Structure 1
Amino acid sequence: MKQLVAFDLDGTLAESKQPLKDEMGEALADLLGVAQVAVISGGDWPQFEKQVASRLPDRADRSKLWLMPTTGTKLYAFKDGAWSAVYAELFDDATRAKIKTAFDEALEATGFVPEQTWGERVEDRGSQITFSALGQQAPLEAKEKWDPDHAKRKVIKADLEKRLPGLSINMGGATSIDITQKGVDKAYGLKKLRDASGISLDAMMFVGDAIFPGGNDYPAKELGLDTVRVRDPDETLSVIATVVTCQHA
Structure 2
Amino acid sequence: MDVTGMETATTQVEIASSWKQLDIADMSARARVVAFDLDNTLAWSKTRMSEHMGFLLSQLTHSITVAIVSGGTFEQFRDQVLAVLPETTDNSRLHLMPTSGTRYYHWDHDAWSRVYAHNLSEADRKSAIASLTLHAHELDLWESKTWGPQIEDRGSQITFSALGQLAPVEAKDAWDSDNVKKNALAAAVRVDLPHLQVRSGGSTSVDISAKGIDKAYAVRKLGEILGVAVPDMIFVGDRMDPQGNDYPAACAGTMPVRVANPDETAAFVEELLRSLPNSGTSAF
**Considering the TM-score relative to the shorter chain, is it more than 0.5?**
yes
User: What number of residue pairs does the alignment pair up?
Assistant: 249
Q: Which moved more, 1:142-151 or 1:212-221?
A: 142-151
Aligned to 1:238: 267
Aligned to 1:44: 73
* Contact 2:149–2:165 (CA under 8 A) maintained in structure 1: yes
- For 1:231 and 1:144, the matched residues in 2 are separated by 12
Aligned to 2:108: 79
- For 1:111 and 1:17, the matched residues in 2 are separated by 24
Q: Equivalent residues in 2 for 1:27-38 (5 A)?
A: 27-38=56-67
Q: Equivalent residues in 2 for 1:95-106 (5 A)?
A: 95-106=124-135
Q: Equivalent residues in 2 for 1:116-127 (5 A)?
A: 116-127=145-156
Q: Equivalent residues in 2 for 1:31-180 (5 A)?
A: 31-180=60-209
Answering whether residue 29 of structure 2 is matched by residue 15 of structure 1, we say no
Give 1:85's aligned amino acid. R
Secondary structure of 1:143 counterpart: helix
What fraction of aligned residue pairs are identical, expressed as a percent? 44
- For 2:224 and 2:158, the matched residues in 1 are separated by 25
Q: Which moved more, 1:190-199 or 1:212-221?
A: 190-199
Deviations 1:119-177 (A, max 9, x none): 21111111111000011121222111111111111111111111111111112222111
Aligned to 1:221: 250
Give me the CA root mean square deviation.
1.1
Give runs of ≥4 in structure 1 deviating > 3 Å: none
- For 1:209 and 1:128, the matched residues in 2 are separated by 20
Secondary structure of 1:52 counterpart: helix
Secondary structure of 2:276 counterpart: helix
Aligned to 1:205: 234
Secondary structure of 1:248 counterpart: coil
Q: Which moved more, 1:49-58 or 1:227-236?
A: 49-58
Secondary structure of 2:228 counterpart: coil
1:242 Cα offset (Å) = 1.4
Aligned to 2:212: 183
- For 1:186 and 1:40, the matched residues in 2 are separated by 7
Give 2:39's aligned amino acid. D
In structure 1, list runs of 5 or more residues that go unmatched.
Answer: none
- For 2:238 and 2:82, the matched residues in 1 are separated by 21
* Contact 2:36–2:235 (CA under 8 A) maintained in structure 1: yes
In structure 2, list runs of 5 or more residues that go unmatched.
Answer: 1-28, 279-284
